[in-house]
Amino acid sequence: MEYETAGDPMTDLKWTRRTTEKIACELALHGGIAVSPNTVGRILKEFGYSLRVNHKKISSGSGPDRDAQFKHISVVRSRFSGRKMPVISVDTKKKELVGNFKNPETAWNK
């Protein structure tokens, strides 16, 4: 659970990224402990975790420095290309559905 625990440092809220079903499967595979997902949920509750629902948030738009970021990247790329140095481009955009869609998953938080 150490590597699967996440949280909000501002509020000391903690939760696990794994579902109770996945935790039950891991306990059976690696620990030889047969336990149901409901029991895992009760144990998590005993350790101070509570259910947290994932909420879809509406974007507030791009930041005011977005254009400046792209200009900076362009300048650095031109500088590297002029020196015959390699330039690597990485697209890190996450694909999201457009609109207010419900995410039915829940997570346990502490």
Tokens 């994932």 locate to 54
Give which of 77, 75, 103, 71 is closest to 90, Cα–Cα.
77
Residue 60 has pLDDT above 70, yes or no: no
Give residue 59's pLDDT: 66
Tokens 């900076």 locate to 72
Residue 104 has pLDDT above 80, yes or no: no
Give the confidence band of 45 by pLDDT, cuts at 50, 70, 90: confident
Give residue 10's pLDDT: 66
- List CB contacts of 13: < 8 A, sequence separation 6 or more: 7, 109, 110
Give the confidence band of 7 by pLDDT, cuts at 50, 70, 90: low
Top-ranked range on mean pLDDT: pick from 11-20, 41-50, 60-69? 41-50
Pairing label, strands 13-16, 5-8? antiparallel
Give residue 17's pLDDT: 77
